[in-house]
Amino acid sequence: MINYFFENIDSKDIHPNISIWLEDLILSENKKPGDINYIFCDDEYLLKVNQDYLDHDYYTDIITFDYVKGKTISGDIFVSLPRILDNASTLSQDFESEFRRVLAHGLLHLCGYKDKTEEEESTMRQKEDFYINRYLNF
């Protein structure tokens, strides 16, 4: 089950198709949906998570905590909505497109994809693009 929470930020309407699309992404990767929590927050909240749990002292758009067991995808995915807005502007994208990219990115991490090397990052971007394009069918 996919849940959405809001911390230190106004809530945002999440279109029901988003959950259907995210579950489709998981199933398309030959995995099963478990408990997935998206926690939407502001930059300061996510910075504190980054500092407290990862010992990193910088802003980011997403942090994923992996609770995957076998093929069952579970985890907590923290997302900074202001950082997505800034990134969308920097990348000349609209907010919704960047929002979907970040949501897919977190799930792809839980499905086992990494982005530390150039090759891993390239694969991650290809997967993001593939699933973003599939969203248009929902």
pLDDT, one tens digit per residue, over 34-86 is 999 999 999 999 999 999 999 999 999 999 999 999 999 999 999 999 999 99
Copy the structure tokens of residue 9.
């930020």
pLDDT, one tens digit per residue, over 20-35 is 999 999 999 999 999 9
Report the alpha-carbon distance of residue 67 to residue 52 in Å, rounded: 18
Confidence (pTM): 0.94
Report the alpha-carbon distance of residue 134 to residue 138 in Å, rounded: 8
**Residue 110 — φ and ψ, nearest 5°?**
-65, -25
> Which residues share a beta bridge with 64?
77
